[in-house]
Structure formats: C-alpha cells, structure tokens
Amino acid sequence: MVCSQKVQKWTAFSLFGTFFVIGLWLVLFWADVFNSYLRKQLILGPDTYQYEYWKETPFDINTEIYLFNWTNKDEVGDRNFKPHFQQLGPYVLAERHTRANVVFNDNKTVSFNSIRNWHFLPEKSSGSLDDVVTIMDPIVLAMANVAKDEHYIIRRALHYFLVEYKKTLDETKTAQVLLFDGIKDPIIDLSSRLKLKKFKIPYDKFGFFYNRNGSVYYDGNFTMWTGESDVQKTGIVTEWNGANHTKAYDGDCGDIDGTTGDVWYPVKDSSSISIFVPDVCSLLTLERQGSKSGNGIEGNLYVATDKLLDNGKKYPETACFSPREVLPSGVRDISSCQYDAPAFISLPHFYMADDSYRKAVTGMNPDPEKHKIELIIEPKYGLPVEASVAFQVNFKLNPVKEISLFDKLQEVMVPYLWIKVAIVIPDNYAFLIKAALSAAAIGQWIGYSLIFISLILFLFGVYLELQMRNIPVFGRFQKISFS
C-alpha cells in the first residue's frame, strides 16, 4: 500500500515537530537533568546507587603485608650494633568492607560502624602465614617506653620481672600469630598489677590485626555528611566515637574531618584532599599533582608529599603532630592513639623521611614507585578510580635506665611491617563510570542529530506541498546553461 502525498506530507511535518521538540529539549536540558539525577544517586540516601555500593564493597580490595624479619639479634650489645631487617612477603589478603548499625540522622548525616574482613590468598602471596619471623618484642618495647617516665621503683620492678621471666628483646613467631592470632605475654598481666596509667592494652594478646578481622567495633563509630544538603560535603566525617576532635593531638591536628576514603565529593577545584584514618586518630592529607588516567578514566591525581608526615621541622603548621618530642621529618607519633605504645607510622622503608631513620638500621631500600601514595579521583562527581596507599608501622626503641635490656641501647626507629592497599576498579564498573560521564554529551549529540533530521523532514514536507500545488521546485534552474 502506497501512502498518498498528502499523508506523506503530514507525516513528515508531524515527525519534524516531534523530532525538533525532542532534539531541542535534549540540547537545552538533557545535561542538567542527567547531572541532577546522577548527583542524587551519588549521595548516601537509603535508595541510591552510592549507598548500595558503599554498604558492602562489591569487589575485593587487594591488601599486601610485608613483615620485617630481624636477622642479627645476637649482635645486641655490640658497640656498633645496628639492627638489620629482611623484608618478607607480600602476604596478600582480599579485603572487603561492610557497614553496620547504619542510622540516617535528621541533619542529613549518617552514622555507622565499618567492618573489615580479610581473607588470605596463598596463590598471590610470596610466602606462607606459617613463615617464622623474628621481631623486636613490641610488648617489651611498649612496657619499657612507659616505664622510662615512671618512678625508679617501677623501673626496677620491670627489670626484675624481665629477668625472672627470661625475657629478651626478640620474639619469634609465625606470621599468622604476629598478624592475626596474637602473642600471649605475661607483661600484659603485669601492667594491670602495677596499675600503670599509661599502659592499658584492652586486649589479652598483642597482634597487628588481632581481634580486628570482622570486628564491628574496632574502627569505632563514624558520623558523616550524606551530601543531601550540600554535595561538596558528601562523605565528610563530622564525628568519630561521638566527638569532633580526637584526644591524640592538640589544635588542628586533632580535628575530625575529611572522608573515610570510600565516598568522595566532587574534587574538581580541590588542591588537596584529606582522609580520616582511625588507626592514627588523625587526617592524612594528599596534594594535587596534575591529572592521571586510571582504567581509561581521567581524574585528579593526589599524592603524598614531604608535608604528609612532617613534625614541624619543615612546615610549622604540622608541629601539633609531635605531642611529646619533635623528631626529624618523615614519621608521625601515633602512640596516643595506640595505648601509649611507642608506635609511629612512616612511608615504607622510610621513603621521603629524614636520612637518620635509614642510617640507624640496615635493610631499608626505599623505592618511589613501590612505596608511593597516590589516589585518582574523577573530579566532576568524586568517583574514586584508582588508589595505591602504603604505610609502615614502627616502634621506637628507647634506652631506659635501671632496665638492663635497654640501658645500653641507642635510640632507633624499629620497622615491623608495611601495608599496601591497592584499589583498581574492575572493568565492568569502569564501563559504568565511562557511560555515566559520556551520557550528558551523548544526549546532547542525539539532540543535535534529531534537530538535523527534523529539518530534513521539514524540507521534505515543503517539497511534497509544492509538488501537490504543481509548483515546479527545480524548474527555474532548468534553463541555466554553462555552455
């Protein structure tokens, strides 16, 4: 069946009107409407995509743990003694985050507990959790650190206790015990009997991840902005354990701010970003260093600089991170956050730290590529694309009078382990981000295409109208000759 010219004409004009209106709407309004919809989905509301991904991480996070094996324990007491450490690992874990006790508050914040679960991946690891590792006994170091400021009688009591129990500076255990199972030590019981106010380990064992795997309460309770009232506040922590300032540091250094690292605000104009880390009771601030592509997505690149772990030596505003003494730049005193154990964090192998830390020990080989910290965040919507975060845990060995194990030792920063968390979004999630970033432009180009098609349909309708009126459309050009 062949339609009449009249039907064809009105069909062309109808399609022209429809396509032109739709195309014009797409050109003028689609980008704003889509961006508004996407931003609503990226806040932490009960029914948003962001909430679904945040409540339970939909993919594994790669966590690498490297242990430092102390190899020259028999040389302790020698005049030129320097501890030597051999790096073991990586021991690779698959890490998943889930949220518990989620409560949406009336002031557009959400309160929650964060649970971290680790699962050992032997096929990706270099070594086994049955590996035997020798370390400087962290419990002895912690006890001595507290006792050095106590009365003479307390120091002598600890000395005789260490002699009685034949304690030495070294502790040899498997990686499994050091990391997860924990060390059972009589010193922990002694601390409660001596009633040392500054030595209150709330656990019956010591292990770097002891009582932590799958714990609901270990990291504490967070309250952060959902982004509903202000998109630029999305993911910003307002309280931790009911307070907006930690007791570990004075002044700005104790402020609770920044994100938890899982949810971000649009970072387009941000020259720096901050992450609140409960393990160190403080913020870690990274600086913008241009842009970088991760899995095909262009984002703002944020990296660790020498300011990150300064103690006021280079940047006066960081002096409040030295609650006890001002040490050379490159380590942060986290003892107030770790039950007054002499704990410090640094970058792995004392990368970017003062040379004195590396010179006091042997076995450190800092590598900018392996030991850097960098985050790539898509700037328009604040979508994390790629991350490589690495930190080292150290204990400070202090000489202590009246305690024979320590009275002839030199002050040294002792490395125990370093951890690298690497996040690269899977291809399927990268595809969704790319689609979301392209959707606004694609919608507008579809609009321009529809407008172009509508104009062709309009001209076709005019052509049919002229034909129906027997008006020659091209007749006026027929007598034109180029001869």
pLDDT above 70 (res 408): yes
Tokens 């001869």 belong to: 483
Task: Give the pLDDT of residue 201.
Answer: 65
pLDDT above 60 (res 162): yes
Strand 237-240 relative to strand 272-277, pairing: unpaired
Residue 472 vs residue 263, higher pLDDT: 263
The sign of the torsion formed by the CA atoms of 160, 164, 166, 167 equals: negative
pLDDT above 50 (res 134): yes
Residue 264: closest CA among 372, 371, 386: 386
If you average pLDDT over every residue of the chain, what do you get? Answer: 88
User: Contacts from 242-247 at CB under 8 Å and sequence distance 24+?
Assistant: 246/281, 246/282, 246/337, 247/281, 247/336
pLDDT digit string, tens, across residues 451-481: 898 888 888 777 777 777 777 765 554 444 4
Residue 120 vs residue 189, higher pLDDT: 120
Distance between terminal CA atoms of the chain?
44
Query: What average pLDDT score do residues 44-56 get?
Result: 91
**DSSP assignment, residue 332?**
E
pLDDT above 50 (res 367): yes
User: Please, where are the H alpha helices in 172-286?
Assistant: 175-176, 186-194
Residue 112 vs residue 49, higher pLDDT: 112
pLDDT digit string, tens, across residues 185-221: 877 776 666 665 565 666 778 889 999 999 999 999 9
Percent of the chain with pLDDT over 90: 55
Task: Give the pLDDT of residue 460.
Answer: 77
pLDDT above 90 (res 307): yes
Query: What average pLDDT score do residues 243-253 get?
Result: 92
Instruction: Give the lowest-confidence range in 19-23, 109-113, 223-227.
Output: 19-23
pLDDT above 50 (res 482): no
Task: Give the pLDDT of residue 340.
Answer: 79
Provide φ and ψ at 403, rounded to 5°.
-120, 110
Tokens 């250094």 belong to: 253
Confidence category of residue 439, pLDDT binned at 50, 70, 90: confident
Contacts with 385 (C-beta within 8 Å, 6 or more apart), sequence order = 294, 295, 297, 299, 376, 377, 378, 425, 430, 433
Q: What is the pTM of this model?
A: 0.88
